[in-house]
Chain A
Amino acid sequence: MDVLLLLADGMLVSLQPLNLMMIIIGVTLGLFIGAMPGLGSVNGVAILLPVTFLVPPSSAIIFLAAIYYGAMYGGAVSSITLGIPGASTAVATTFDGRPLAKQGRASLALVTAALASFVGGTVANILFTLFAPLLASVALSFGPPEVFALMLLAFATFVGLGGDDIPKTIFSICFGLVLGAIGFDQISGAPRLVLFDYNGFLQGIGFLVLAIGVYGIGEMLWTIDQTRGDVTATTPQMTIKGMAADTKEAARRGWKGTAIGSFLGFFVGILPAAGATPGSLMAYGVAKMVSRNPEEFGKGAVGGVAAPEAANNSASTGSMLPMLTLGIPGSPTTAILLGGMVIWGLVPGPRLFVDEQQFVWGLIGSFYISNLAAVLINLAFIPVFIWMLRMPFTILAPVIFVLSITGGYAATRDMFDIWLMVGFGIGAFFMRKFDYPLAPAVLAIVLGPIAEPTLRQSLLLSSGDPSIFFTRPVAGPITVVALILIFLPALKFLRRRPAKGKRPAS
């Protein structure tokens, strides 16, 4: 009961005119920043952090949280309309969001993403409100072996997502992980994999460089080649009646994915260092596994949009939990929020809920209001995003290339990365021709820098004994499930018989 009273007080704080205005501006800015390839919530929060010194700390953190929410909604927009995930959290949304847009059903995909994000955010807010301190202690019990087991589970999900060609999928995962290892060894600090001894590789290869190369350039070249230049951009219709029908269809076909994503995303999100990317991917994998029509996934399944979108929003709220209760940021964006709180004189940690009650509950209240504002503003802007898709492809394509290059530069500020992006794009074009799935590589480059140190720390803890991943109560079951998920398709691959008489000469 106390919690509800505190929450009601918090909501009243967030509904004060200044705070409400901050929410609306923050969500709208976040939506557009998130929709821009190359820019995500991290950029929005980091760039606008200095602006917040003009308002009281509670309004400032509400503003930044609103940007965070808006950007999470916006990430789906570029994934669906352009096929370029602006952030790693939105990669899984492209799997079905883009095919839906290509079928002329972008409105359905965008409505599904908005509604799933709203439900995911709301479920996460409720769990956050009710179980914050308890869940924080659970998250804290995750040591390196547990986090590595979780990463292994995420990689296992890739194997299921990669289609029928298991060797190519595993190649793609390992390739992404190796690319993520370029730069410096995180533990010894020694330069590692400086390819061709070129110093540009010392700074490593970022997720965006690979993602924009693969999706912004490679995928576009492939589309132009496949359609023989005669691309009739999808002609999505946008009417009030159509949107109502889309809402109905999104609810009917996407509820299961939304439910899975909402809960799974939150629990992965609260784990320090895990975040929304593995959450959204696992939600997609589980939604595909439990679906009655798993063959529809990857071809435009509504559940395939709902699950990752619910999960990434839910995980974003979840990642606030270790930041507020333990002072441990769960994602890069929450790390910046944490920095902001310290600047404002607030000390995140268990005492925050006691010493700064009004601030904390004002922030939690603002999560609910921001979530509601985000879904309403997002739905209102869907016609604008749809209009963009109705442009002739010969205008849309160069605009996408330009946004990819400028967005990529904005994120990395290095021309070497832009050249790498072009190289990856051309490489991705040829790999796509031979059915190499590229999404696992893009996701692996994000998860590699989390997986490697946790593996090495775990092996150091056990003096090199890998049984540490099987004997611990939390890590053990996760590792076993991951190995089953990896070896089941591998067994299928080994048992598959060659096609008879279908090998023509080259």
Chain B
Amino acid sequence: MRVGELITAGFLALLSLYLMWKSTELPIGYISGTGPGGGAWPFWLSAIMLICCACTAFNWWRGTTPASKSDEPVLDSHGWKSLIFVGGGIVGFVALVSIISMYGAVAVFLFYYLWFLGRHGLVLSVTISLVFPIALFFFFEGAMQITMPSGLPFTDPVFDVLYDIIY
């Protein structure tokens, strides 16, 4: 945790510098007749962010923050596993949206989480994975009239059947 806090502060300081540099694409000073330039607000805020990162590093050096006094790893093996399996699952879910539609991706993600990560029974996992996206379809497309991504054309026959029910 101790090294992690310093690395995080360093990363955020670099981000602040990048934002300061990016802000200078617009004027950052006071322009007579039009007021502060368009880049002034983000530039000075990013500058404050940079100062805050320096203060965090100073606190780290003084050992006043809990993380700076901790010997624990940022993520142990379980932490890495859960981040990879859960976080990776979410990334996979979002990546699948443009291929098998939002509802298809919901079904696959739910099944993956319930059956593989949650260790639930096959019947429960399949039931929830099928019923939940269908309920979402009727809520969003029917009740709220919000169209979700429908994926590649091969999903059309399924959507045709569902749209026939609504309209």
Instruction: Determine if B150 is an interface residue (Cβ-Cβ < 8 Å).
Output: no
Residue pair A402, B146 in contact (C-beta under 8 Å): no
Contact of B83 among A178, A192, A225, A455 (CB under 8 A): A225
Number of interface residues of A (CB under 8 A): 70
Category for how many chain B residues contact A = 35 or more
Q: Is A487 an interface residue (CB 8 A)?
A: no
Bound-state Cα–Cα, A475 to B2, Å: 43
- Complex CA–CA separation, A431 to B64 (angstroms): 17
Q: Is the CB of B66 within 8 A of A435?
A: yes
Contacts between the two chains (Cβ within 8 Å), count: 193
Q: Say whether B78 contacts A228, CB under 8 Å.
A: yes
A434 and B149 contact, CB distance less than 8 A: no
In-complex Cβ contact of A506 among B2, B110, B146 (8 A): B2
Chain B residues near A47: list those with CB within 8 A: 144-145
Closest chain A residue, CB of each to CB of B45: A174
Known contacts A188-B26, A457-B35, A406 near B140 by CB under 8 Å = yes
Contacts of B48 in A (CB 8 A): 170-171, 174
Contacts of B53 on A, CB cut-off 8 Å?
A: 167, 171
Of chain A, the residue at the smallest CB distance from B20 is: A178
Q: How far is the CA of A498 from the CA of B30 in the complex (A)?
A: 40
Q: How far is the CB of B108 from chain A (nearest CB, A)?
A: 11
Q: Which of A178, A406, A505 has the most CB of B within 10 A?
A: A178
Q: How far is the CA of A229 from the CA of B36 in the complex (A)?
A: 50
Q: Give A337 to B34 CA distance when docked, in angstroms.
A: 34
Knowing that A47-B145, A181-B45, A193-B19 are A-B contacts, what are 11 other residue pairs whose CB atoms are under 8 Å apart, sorted by A's residue number? A175-B49, A193-B42, A224-B82, A394-B118, A398-B114, A429-B87, A435-B65, A456-B36, A498-B62, A499-B62, A503-B63
- Give chain A's interface residues, CB within 8 Å of chain B: 39, 43, 47, 165-168, 170-171, 174-175, 177-178, 181, 185, 187-188, 190, 192-195, 217, 220-221, 224-225, 228-229, 392, 394-395, 397-399, 401-402, 405-406, 409-410, 413, 415, 418-419, 422, 425-426, 429-431, 433-435, 452, 455-457, 459-460, 464, 493, 496, 498-499, 502-506
B residues sitting closer than 8 Å to A (CB atoms) are 1-5, 8, 12, 19, 22-23, 25-26, 30, 34-36, 38-42, 45-46, 48-49, 51-53, 55-56, 59, 62-69, 71, 74-75, 78-79, 82-83, 86-87, 90-91, 93-94, 97-98, 102, 106, 109-110, 113-114, 117-120, 128, 132, 136, 140, 144-146, 148-149
